[in-house]
Amino acid sequence: MKQVVQRKQSEKAFLLGLICGLLGLITNTWLIIPLYGNLSLHLGEVFVIACLITRGLKPALLASIITTAGLVYETGNYVFFVSAILEIIILNALLRKGVLLLLADAVFWVMLGIPITYLTIKYIYDVTSADFMQVILLKQAVNGVLIVSIVALLKPFIPLRWFSAAVEPEAPKLSDRVFELSLNSISLPALIISLFLSDSAADNTEKQMENVLKTRTEHYISYLTNYVDYHLNSLRSLETVVLNNNITDVERDLMLNKWNNIYNGFITMLVANQSGLIISGSPAEFSNHFL
């Protein structure tokens, strides 16, 4: 009889882990919160952490694998599997020792999460920009802590019947509850506000860079246009002299050399007859190959 009950509990835990994983997969695939650029928040792991604190380690691992599959499929980076599984294992171990959920997640990101993310973006994605690397690391840490903060705030409202016998929560001390609620009440609004401010700052920076690039582009276009017009006018002036029937070949060569020295934009200056044959040019060592 006991074995039958344990088997039913295992099947129920497996089913709940599967459901949480599918909900997390759907959230990560279709309910993405964009930040700036290609960076975005994925909140599907909320269901994984909720599964961990209510059903235990094994169902949470199953939910984590299913949830992370969407990110792996999207990015092609299998390191997400390693990071997600390690996070669940570390959180489970620390929770069993009585560490608060938010503090346990902070310990994971400081000790393992950020180093793994750093090595991934440096050696797999070959990111060399220090600023962009810092933004990615901050985004990953904020994403993780934000998820845990949401679950920690929702935890007191989860019915006790949803908890399995293995992880059924004990009545916490009043001081622990006050500390946990205070910590969550501070961290969650601070994270949300920082995300909005960083998004606004990124938009302003992007607009400033766009204006700078636009101004520089207009300047370069104007400079190139003036540069080309300047040399075209010099050619028109030279044309009236070179096409003069009274000018000798020596005078024409001298004129070409003079023009070539005055206008540095000309590498060579060649004169062709009506048949397309080169009859004169500057510099002399170059035009001799055609004459």
- Per-residue pLDDT band for 232 (boundaries 50, 70, 90) equals confident
67, pLDDT greater than 70: yes
C-alpha–C-alpha distance, residues 133 and 92, integer Å: 29
Other beta carbons within 10 angstroms of residue 18's beta carbon come to 15
pLDDT digit string, tens, across residues 87-138 = 999 988 888 887 888 888 888 888 888 888 888 887 777 766 676 677 777 7
**Which helix or strand (DSSP H or E) is residue 40 part of?**
strand 39-41
Residue 59 pLDDT more than 80? yes
Q: What is the mean pLDDT of residues 52-56?
A: 84
Using one digit for the tens of pLDDT, what is the confidence trace for 182-197? 767 776 677 677 666 6
Say which residue, 170 or 160, is predicted with more confidence: 160
pTM of the predicted model as reported, rounded to 2 decimal places: 0.65
Measured distance CA(102)–CA(142) in Å, rounded: 12
Largest Cα–Cα separation, the chain: 121
Q: What is the pLDDT of residue 103?
A: 83
Q: What is the predicted pLDDT for the residue at 124?
A: 75
Query: Residue 287: which residues within 8 A CB-CB, separation 6 or more?
Result: 268, 270, 278, 280, 281
What does the DSSP assignment read for 130-199?
HHHHHHHHHHHHHHHHHHHHHHHHHGGGS-GGGS-TTSPPPPPPHHHHHHHHHHHHHHHHHHHHHHHHHH
Residues 185, 197: Cα–Cα separation, whole Å: 19
21 Cβ contact partners less than 8 Å away, ≥ 6 residues apart: 47, 48, 51, 62, 63, 64, 65, 66, 67
SS3 of residue 77 by DSSP = coil
Task: Indicate the pLDDT class of residue 290, thresholds 50, 70 and 90.
Answer: low
Does the pLDDT of residue 43 top 70, yes or no?
A: yes
Residue 222 to residue 206: CA distance in whole angstroms: 24
Q: Give how far Cα 53 sits from Cα of 11, 49, 141, 202, 284, Å.
A: 18, 6, 20, 36, 86
How many CB atoms within 10 Å of residue 133? 16
**CB neighbours of residue 95 within 10 Å:** 17
